[in-house]
Amino acid sequence: MSRDNLRWWGWGTLDQTYDLSERPGFWPFLSEELGLTGEERGPQADLDRITLPASRLSPDDLDALTAIVGAEHLSAEHKARVTHAVGKSYPDLMRLRLGQIEHAPDVVVWPGSEEEVAALLALAVRRHWSVIPFGGGSSVTGGLTALGEWPAISLDLARLNQVLAVDPISHTVTAQAGILGPALEQALNVEGFTLGHFPQSFEFSTLGGWIATRAAGQQSIRYGKIEDMVEWLRMVTPQGVIETRHVPASAAGPSLKEMLVGSEGAFGVITQATMRLRPLPTLRDTRGLLFRSFADGVAAIRAMMQSDRPPAMARLSDVAETRAYQALSPARHGRAARLTRTIGTRLMKRRGIELHGACLMILGCEGDEQSVPEDMDAALTVCAAQGAFHLGRSPGEAWYAERFALPYLRDVLLDHGVLVDTLETATTWDNLLPLYQAVGQAIAEAIEAEGVKPLVMCHVSHAYTDGASLYYTFLARQVAGREIAQWELIKRRATETIMQHGGTLSHHHGVGSDHRPWLEREHGPLGVAALRALKHTFDPYGVMNPGKLLEQGP
């Protein structure tokens, strides 16, 4: 993938967008929900309008960097610094559109080997620079901002992008950390394997980024989160190289591997990892179901997770998100489509399900020809016991076909002056519905405090035997002149509510700088002191990604 084709001010590639021309119900739905007039326009990005602080590196500094990576793998040009200054969160994209980039790396470097990474860190220590590891640039928690007083190097791992070995006996792959999701998966599929890790950012995120942020893929019920897949990893720190053992499990004290996974570049640079694999599925079955209520759907997921045959995926949308999906559906015309809708509505009403108030579940199973039908039958039996109406395969296949496309819609909404962002948490089953209500209410009230109408949606996206995650999407008309302050109020009130009501600070987005103020509430003072001790051990000079995960400084 050519990085010249990436949309620097938004998501994905320049040749793709989210086409609403065949989805006539969406803008009327959104206009009614948010009180839009159709005249709203958001700030438009203009690279020439963005003014960056001057690079603080001297010609001698650049010569020293060039001696390590070569002149062709180093850039202090305007676009390179802009595109490495922020990630892909709402405030990040608004800063680009508003031309308000206060912090940017002084230079971007692309090392081609682990030895070059080590040399760059050693140089940074000697010259008092900070180093910000950069993978795919898809952080949504402020993980890439150049904080601190020192000159900053953005260390882009794009050249460390090779699969080093596939072990068909142990079912593992060893790869460099800068490899993008599609390239890794393609290499594995040829060998008959899959990693099974498909976050929504899959096309534009890297193996190292997944590990550094404890990411989760859409089929995490079957394959686990990324930390479940890591067998071995290797990290270059300012104090030297550290690596774990190539073993499936160990009782040799606290897990060093667990200390490195989720470290978000604050301890060092992940350069390689060995990942556990699964055989490439030969069959996939994805269905749609409607439930009378969110509570009924939650009960169904809990029963499936606590059974002997959980599905690969169970994604449950609340009423608001289900209505949004309906509004986004492509137009269907003709007598057959009308007849299908009429019959379907009648059958749902017999089950006590009103389409306007129903909750959609996308249910997926994958594996081999024998296990998938059995798994799906077991899952559908559980859902039927909770009163679900089976919609068949069409909704599931439609969701699967578009599962990486929705981030493109965000750019369209920003163009039309709509604030849109997401946040997520997780909790135990007994607390899931109370937390769902509390956080949704907090987001809505924070939006209303700015004098605009809210649209707050949520889905359960990852589930376990003892609980599940909640993933919120919220929209509102932007308040001109307060676009970022408006978001900050929502984020602060929602996060406070999560912490007060027994949720985790983050289930899979990570900490970055956005969540860092609440980390002590998550781990307690002694826990954060332990993390500081790890930071001091690996990075006593404080050069690694300052202000992320932990406060700035050594």
Q: Which domain holds residue 263?
A: 163-279
Q: Kindly indicate the confidence band of residue 357, based on its pLDDT and cuts at 50, 70 and 90.
A: confident
User: Is position 405 within any domain?
Assistant: no
- Res 321 pLDDT > 60: yes
- Res 343 pLDDT > 50: no
Average pLDDT over residues 419-424: 98
Model pTM score: 0.95
Q: Please give the pLDDT value at position 349.
A: 59
Q: Please give the pLDDT value at position 177.
A: 98
Residues 513, 505: Cα–Cα separation, whole Å = 13
Domain count, the chain: 3
- Indicate if 143 and 175 belong to the same structural domain: no
φ/ψ (deg, to 5) at 513: -95, -25
Using one digit for the tens of pLDDT, what is the confidence trace for 158-170? 999 999 999 999 9
Residues 126, 198: Cα–Cα separation, whole Å = 39
Strands 172-176 and 269-276: antiparallel
Q: Please give the pLDDT value at position 32.
A: 97
Q: Of 229, 255, 279, which residue sits at a domain end?
A: 279
CATH number at residue 300: 3.30.70.3450
Q: Kindly indicate the confidence band of residue 552, based on its pLDDT and cuts at 50, 70 and 90.
A: confident
313 bridge partner residues: 364
Q: Please give the pLDDT value at position 347.
A: 52
- Indicate if 333 and 366 belong to the same structural domain: yes
Average pLDDT value over all residues in the chain? 94
Mutual angle of helices 294-305 and 371-385, in 10-degree steps: 140
Residue 51: Cβ within 10 Å count: 11
Residue that has been written with the tokens 């109408």 in this structure: 453
Q: Please give the pLDDT value at position 333.
A: 53
User: Is position 496 within any domain?
Assistant: no
Q: Please give the pLDDT value at position 345.
A: 53
Q: Which helix (H) or strand (E) holds 173?
A: strand 172-176
Contacts of 200 (CB under 8 A, 6+ apart): 218, 403, 404, 406, 407
User: Is position 226 within any domain?
Assistant: yes
User: Is position 325 within any domain?
Assistant: yes
Using one digit for the tens of pLDDT, what is the confidence trace for 45-77? 999 999 999 999 999 999 999 999 999 999 999
- Res 311 pLDDT > 80: yes
> How many Å is the Cα radius of gyration of the chain?
24
Q: Kindly indicate the confidence band of residue 340, based on its pLDDT and cuts at 50, 70 and 90.
A: very low
Using one digit for the tens of pLDDT, what is the confidence trace for 88-118? 999 999 999 999 999 999 999 999 999 999 9
Looking at 325, 464, 471, 541, which residue is catalytic? 471
- Residue 139, burial from CB neighbour count under 10 angstroms (0-12, 13-18, 19+): buried
Q: Kindly indicate the confidence band of residue 551, based on its pLDDT and cuts at 50, 70 and 90.
A: confident
b/e map of 248-262 (b: 16 or more CB within 10 Å)?
eeeeeeeeebebbbb
CATH number at residue 185: 3.30.465.10
Contacts of 551 (CB under 8 A, 6+ apart): 516
Q: Kindly indicate the confidence band of residue 527, based on its pLDDT and cuts at 50, 70 and 90.
A: very high
Concatenating the DSSP letter of every residue in 297-340 gives HHHHHHHHHTSSS--SEEEEE-HHHHHHHHHHSPP--SHHHHHH
CATH number at residue 96: 3.30.43.10
Q: State the first-to-last Cα distance of the chain, in angstroms, to the nearest integer.
A: 37
Angle at CA of residue 410, ends 408 and 413, nearest 5°: 125
- Indicate if 169 and 259 belong to the same structural domain: yes
Q: What letter would DSSP give residue 10?
A: S
User: Is position 27 within any domain?
Assistant: no
Q: Please give the pLDDT value at position 20.
A: 94
Residues 194, 78: Cα–Cα separation, whole Å = 39
Q: Kindly indicate the confidence band of residue 253, based on its pLDDT and cuts at 50, 70 and 90.
A: very high
- Indicate if 323 and 310 belong to the same structural domain: yes
- Residue 209, burial from CB neighbour count under 10 angstroms (0-12, 13-18, 19+): buried
Residues 316, 297: Cα–Cα separation, whole Å = 7
| CB of 353 closer than 8 Å to CB of 292 | yes
User: Is position 518 within any domain?
Assistant: no
Work out the percent of the chain whose per-residue pLDDT is above 90: 93
Q: Please give the pLDDT value at position 336.
A: 40
> Residue 25 is encoded by which pair of tokens?
């119900």
Q: Of 131, 156, 181, which residue sits at a domain end?
A: 156
Q: What is the dihedral of CA 188, 194, 200, 203, to 10 degrees?
A: 10
Report the candidate in 213, 183, 208, 181 with the shortest Cα–Cα distance to residue 197: 181
Average pLDDT over residues 267-282: 98
Q: What letter would DSSP give residue 281?
A: P
> Is 471 among the catalytic positions?
yes
φ/ψ (deg, to 5) at 355: -55, -40
Would you say the C-alpha torsion 167, 171, 208, 401 has a positive or negative sign?
positive
Q: Of 279, 294, 324, which residue sits at a domain end?
A: 279
